Amino acid sequence: MSTEFDVKQLPELLDFDYEHMQKSRERQCRFWCGEKLAVPLLFIGGELSEKQKVIPEYNYKEIFANKEKMLCSEVRAACAVGNGRSDMIPSIRANLGTGITLACLGLEQKSFPDKMPWLTEHLTKEQIIKLSPDDIQMRGTFARGLEMMHYFKEIMGDSIPVYVMDTQGPFDLAHLMLGDELFIQLYDDPPFVHHLMNLCLELDIKTHRWMKETIDEPLTSMHHGSSLYSDSFGIRICEDTTVMLGPDHIEEFAVAYSRKLAREFGGAWVHYCGYHEPLTDSILSSPEFKVLNFGHIPGHEQEIDFYKNMEKFKRAGKVNFNAWPRFTDESMEEYLIRQHKFASQGILAPIPRDIDNMSPQKIHDLWRGL
């Protein structure tokens, strides 16, 4: 054991209400499938209990290298989620960075104490041309991540779900693999980019299957992010690099491949950072994608039109899973009323923010009373 804290204590510190969590799973499944709930979904976390505060904290570099420290870090965060007693489902993973699946092609990330691991090396165009799906193998830190997942299951048993390592959509993986040269090749050599995209699609399919086998998770269901559970779609797809593309390239080189990936797992929910109107429209028009989450840029939170988006999601019959900010001078009660209006229509799965240190219980009481 490389930590003074005995990780075998962790299951006893969870303090989860498993009956409540099972009801929340059922509520989420119904909601993602289009059912309007009497009390809409609500995603809020809580605080650690005094006994849970004994779980040690570590920096990013420490948890990257050590399975016991990684487990402590993940369980500590999940405990706070469970204490919120909302519809969030606590879960844990081997949190090894966005480039972890590329270890299956020999690319390894650097780890840092103050930020998440990052891929600082790339393959050349010439190297990628020579690659085929047969070159994708369980190896390096990805293989170590699978071992971490086995270990988490061994220590935690059925007390908390383990979910897959950080995965990216095919176009995100292509950018990580080739670097910024990718944007030049979109114009100079589209056939090469399609070769790269097919390779990244196979990488996504293989690594998701390997991880789901490791945790005994069905292909078409998932836990994710210490919050979400679904039995009607099996993966999350990230399109963070896709936001840098124009509409034509979005469709041909990104979303077309993400659709193929989603179909392998019964559908997907999608995340991207920032906001991109054509990308949002492309995702909402794709039946393979059930739920969309996008980001709000600090200092520019109000630049995304809330009401326009709610109308857009309503027309598409999709769910927006998002942490919308409060309007200027909007009270907490007014904010929750606004969120509740669209959550009750099956359009919004809200993650309240800017909550003025209001307790989870007070928020629940307001929400249920609307």
Check residue 2 and give its pLDDT. Answer: 47
Of the candidate ranges 90-94, 127-131, 244-248, 355-359, the one whose mean pLDDT is the lowest:
355-359
Question: Does residue 1 fall inside a structural domain?
Answer: no
Give the rounded percent of residues in the chain with a pLDDT score beyond 70: 99
CA distances from 207 to 104, 137, 139, 261 (A): 8, 9, 11, 12
Question: Does residue 256 fall inside a structural domain?
Answer: yes
Place of tokens 């799965």: 349
Q: How many domains, the chain?
A: 1
What average pLDDT does this structure show over 59-75?
A: 97
Q: Is the pTM of this model over 0.85?
A: yes
By C-alpha distance, which of 39, 43, 72 is closest to 57?
Answer: 72
Reported as a single tens digit per residue, the pLDDT across 29-45 is 999 999 999 999 999 99
Provide the mean pLDDT of the chain: 96
Whether 181 shows a pLDDT value over 50: the answer reads yes
Check residue 224 and give its pLDDT. Answer: 98
Residue 134 sits in which domain range? 7-369
CA distances from 329 to 47, 140, 359, 361, 363 (A): 27, 51, 20, 23, 18
For residue 68, the one-letter residue type is E
Beta pairing class for 228-230 and 222-224 = antiparallel
Place of tokens 């487990």: 71
Reported as a single tens digit per residue, the pLDDT across 294-333 is 988 888 888 999 999 999 999 999 999 999 999 999 999 9
| Residue 197 in tokens | 């995209």
Whether 14 shows a pLDDT value over 70: the answer reads yes
Q: How far is CA 75 from the centre of its chain?
A: 17
Whether 3 shows a pLDDT value over 60: the answer reads no
Angle between the N-to-C axes of helices 360-369 and 332-343, in degrees from 0 to 180, rounded to the nearest 10: 60
Question: Does residue 359 fall inside a structural domain?
Answer: yes
Place of tokens 């095919």: 170
| Residue 57 in tokens | 């904290």
Q: What is the CATH number of the domain that holds 41?
A: 3.20.20.210
Q: Phi/psi zone of residue 329: left (φ > 0), alpha (ψ -120 to 50 degrees), beta?
A: left
Cβ distance 165 to 132 under 8 Å?
no
Whether 97 shows a pLDDT value over 80: the answer reads yes
Whether 176 shows a pLDDT value over 90: the answer reads yes
Check residue 82 and give its pLDDT. Answer: 97
| Residue 178 in tokens | 């080739």
Whether 1 shows a pLDDT value over 50: the answer reads no
- Looking at 84-227, list the stretches that DSSP marks H as alpha helix, in order from N- to C-terminal side: 125-129, 140-156, 170-178, 181-188, 190-215
Whether 259 shows a pLDDT value over 70: the answer reads yes
Check residue 180 and give its pLDDT. Answer: 97
Question: Does residue 2 fall inside a structural domain?
Answer: no
SS3 267: coil
